[in-house]
Amino acid sequence: MKILITGVTGFVGGYLLRLLGERKRDRPSLRIIATARRLELESELAQWADVYFPADLSEGGPPVSASVCIHAAGLADDRSTALDLHRANVVATRNLLDMLENCRLFVYISSASVYGLKDSPMHESEATAETALSEYGRSKWAAEQAVREICRQRGIAYVIVRPRAIYGVGDRVLLPRLMRLMRPPLLLIIGKGEAPISLTYIGHLATLVTAVVFNENPPKSDTFNVADGEVYRLRVVLAALYAAIHHTRPRVVCIPVWLVNAYLAINEALGRKGALSRQSLGYLTESCVLDCALARSTLDYAPSTTFFDHASTIGQAVVDGRW
């Protein structure tokens, strides 16, 4: 079996490369082809790949023969322009599908940003082009549509997974945002931090993806939410992370949402882009819970750990400068 993994210099792609690379010990016939924009892979990653080629998928690339493709590459910066997001997430996905030869299964790592925000758990069928919170969410939805369209035309089975707020050692998106709220001895909370939210441990996402890849009877083409089994409150998550890093309890300061909205409005009027966007504000203050019943019933998805099981490891990685 040949597996192509894109975006291997990123958090998700790199984790999958390491995990599948370790599987080669038990599967001698497994070959891993890896790609990312970087000209060369650092040795820690390169040891897991049988073949590596650099490519900017938004510009296309050479033909690649692989029975399975895991597409983890993409642009997740909510401050990027709509054009940059479209090129990195939609055009790149179409180009990748055009590059593939002999592919039987395409796994696309999408995002829960295709949903809006609401109080009840979100089912896979609730995402539309109109529900996405941001240009990033709209680009991921458009990329999903490209996957469905092209895979159906070419007879390729596909699985689309929608994690929310992926965390773990090496995360470069969620953890930096949370760290900006820590001003020892203070912990800043926007609003009350009590809205229910889903988070996704990187290990749970990777376990689901590998189960799909190595399943002798893979599921029919479908879309699956992926999140931890526990529903969290951001206030509690932040306090646990703060304690894991600073080994003490923080003094919590709640900032009114209206004040942050006013700050964002001023930035927008002046044409400035700060560290916080309206999308980020929604993630920090509004309810967003994923219904993972379909993954549980179809893929036997059974997440066994929670954020609190990993907080000390993540905190130590921050202390050691490994985040």
Q: Would 135 be classed as within a structural domain?
A: yes
d(CA 66, CA 31): 9
The pLDDT value recorded for residue 156 is: 96
Looking at residue 284, its pLDDT comes to 80
11 found inside a domain: yes
pLDDT on residue 280: 75
Would you say residue 37 lies in a domain? yes
Query: Tens of pLDDT along 48-97?
Result: 999 999 999 999 999 999 999 999 999 998 778 999 999 999 999 999 99
Measured distance CA(199)–CA(149) in Å, rounded: 29
Question: Sheet of 51-54: strands edge to edge?
Answer: 51-54, 31-36, 2-6, 68-71, 105-109, 157-163, 222-226
Q: State the total domains in the chain.
A: 1
Q: Is the pTM of this model over 0.85?
A: yes
- pLDDT tens profile 269-321: 888 877 677 777 877 888 999 999 999 999 999 999 999 999 999 999 999 98
pLDDT digits (tens, 9 = 90+) for 4-34: 999 999 999 999 999 999 999 899 899 999 9
Q: Which residues, listed in sequence order, are joined to residue 109 by a DSSP beta bridge?
A: 161
Q: What confidence score (pLDDT) does residue 270 get? A: 86
pLDDT at 101: 97
pLDDT > 90? residue 322? no
126 falls within a domain? yes
pLDDT at 323 over 70: no
260 domain residue, yes or no:
no
232 domain residue, yes or no:
no
d(C-alpha 133, C-alpha 232), whole Å: 20
Quote the CA–CA distance of 322 and 140 in Å, as a whole number: 29
Range of the domain at 76: 2-167+200-227
Per-residue pLDDT of 187-216, as tens digits, reads: 999 999 999 999 999 999 999 999 999 987
Residue 69: inside a domain: yes
Are the CB atoms for 66 and 105 separated by under 8 Å? no
> What 3-state DSSP class applies to 72?
coil
pLDDT tens per residue, range 120-172: 999 999 998 788 878 999 999 999 999 999 999 999 999 999 999 999 999 98
User: Is 105 part of a structural domain of the chain?
Assistant: yes
Listed residue (196, 80, 213, 208) closest to 140, CA to CA: 80
Strand spans (E) along the chain: 2-6, 31-36, 51-54, 64-65, 68-71, 100-101, 105-109, 157-163, 166-167, 182-183, 186-190, 196-197, 200-201, 222-226, 232-233, 251-255
CB burial class (10 A; 0-12, 13-18, 19+) of residue 34? buried
Helix (H, G, I), strand (E, B) or coil at 321: coil
Rounded CA-CA distance 112/163 in Å is: 6
pLDDT of residue 118: 82
Residue that is written with structure tokens 């529900």 in the block = 131
Q: What is the CATH number of the domain that holds 131?
A: 3.40.50.720
Question: Tens of pLDDT along 249-271?
Answer: 999 999 999 999 898 889 888 88
Using DSSP's 3-state secondary structure scheme, residue 262 falls into helix
